[in-house]
Amino acid sequence: MIQQGEVYLVDFAKKYNSEFGKVRPAVVLQNNFLNRALSISKFQSVLVVPLSTQDTQTEYKIEIEPRDNLKEKSFIVANWLCTLDIKRIQVDKGVITQLSSDELQMLKSKICDLI
């Protein structure tokens, strides 16, 4: 079962205008209650936040240094929330890394600043 704060490879499919595209890492933001219910839910969607290796000019990014299976410095792009079907998450390839509780709290805080 996927867990909030885990980073997986996610297929964002074909890029459209300014949207994120291709297979890239993303953080699972959806809470674990909903994650546990995915197998019995009619709508098997997951809320994720993509990572980028490009240092975009936005105050809504969080820098993540390389660690575990994350090979490059990356940025969580907190202002780009995505809800995708669970089949887009490449769970079979395993967790790339796990956010620390401080990083997860910072991500939630930046998202709250958006709304």
pLDDT in tens, the chain (115 residues): 899 999 999 998 766 555 566 899 999 999 999 999 998 888 899 999 999 998 877 889 999 999 999 999 999 999 899 999 999 999 999 999 999 999 999 999 999 998 8
* Cα–Cα distance for residue pair 25/94, rounded to 1 Å: 11
Domain that holds residue 62: 6-114
Q: Model pTM?
A: 0.91
- The answer to whether 61 touches 115, Cβ cutoff 8 Å, is no
User: Is position 1 within any domain?
Assistant: no
User: Is position 87 within any domain?
Assistant: yes
Q: Can you give the CATH number for the domain in which 30 is found?
A: 2.30.30.110
User: Is position 26 within any domain?
Assistant: yes
Q: What is the DSSP letter of 68?
A: T
Residue closest to 70 by CA, chosen among 62, 58, 81, 79: 62
Half-sphere exposure of 30 (CA within 13 A, CB side): 21
User: Is position 81 within any domain?
Assistant: yes
Number of domains in the chain: 1
